[in-house]
Amino acid sequence: MDAIDKRKSVRIYKETFLSADEITKILHMIENPMTGPNGNEIELEFIVEDLDSRKGKIGTYGFISGKYGAILGWCQKERLSYIDYGYVLENISLKLVDMNLGTCWLGGSFSKKNVIDAMKSSQNGIKSIPAILTVGYEAQGKRLRDFLISGIKRNRMDFNECYFDKDLNIIDDKDKIKILEAVRWSPSAMNRQPVRVIWDESRVHFYLVDAKIELKYIDMGIAMCHFEKRAKEMGMSGSWLVDSNAPDTAWLYMNTFVLD
């Protein structure tokens, strides 16, 4: 089972904070800025402290409990930059899963003021922090709040509602389905799954539905990360670009993965 299959949103962490060795590995993982598919450079920061013990906790509404840190960065306030932010940070998330650590994306459910207060750098007003990634040791069990959160989330949409061939017909190729299942199970805000894909021969086009909210662009970056990672695992390499000839649909076109 790979990191994509193992990952889940962890909201309850153990009362033991990350070890010095794990903190060092995470700091090394993010020590250099990373570039997303659209060329935006994302510089991440690791808040290396028990954030649950702070007077002003970053996880608002009681969404997160236990001892945890957070990985985050500043991002230009435009949609392609948000996509790159989601792509880069999800790559880190999957590496943390491989380290057997628990993670959780927080978008609208964190206190930006408390996060900024805990950061070493500040670009407030120039850039934004659209989302953060909490990290720690997963604790067992669920609270009532977790069941309430699950209750307001919808079930995963059917595969054939989201992914299509070039003629907008059902995809029946087993390899393509396996790759796109990694996209279907990628995390998204309230599990709304806003990403649609048209697989046109060697070009795989990505679209957004309901693109008025900035978190949807983060969701797009996460989905693109899952697609590329699973494709590489199956021996399919390629590169991202913006294709002016992508099929015109009612959805908002964002990016295309061109297979080698």
Instruction: Going residue by residue through the chain, which has 260 residues, state the pLDDT in tens, using 9 for 90 and above.
Output: 789 999 999 989 999 999 999 999 999 999 999 999 999 999 999 988 665 555 445 554 457 888 889 999 988 889 999 999 999 999 999 999 999 999 999 886 565 566 666 666 556 556 788 899 999 999 986 654 554 545 444 578 999 999 999 999 999 999 999 999 999 999 998 888 999 999 999 999 999 998 778 889 999 999 999 999 999 999 999 999 999 999 999 999 999 999 99
Domains in the chain (CATH in brackets) are 3-145 (3.40.109.10), 159-259 (3.40.109.30)
DSSP secondary structure string for all residues of 38-106: TS-EE-EEEE-S-GGGSSS-SBGGG--BSS-EEEEE-B-SSHHHHHHHHHHHHHHHHHHHHTT-EEEEE
Overall residue count recorded for the chain in this entry: 260
Kind and range of the H or E run holding 258: strand 252-259
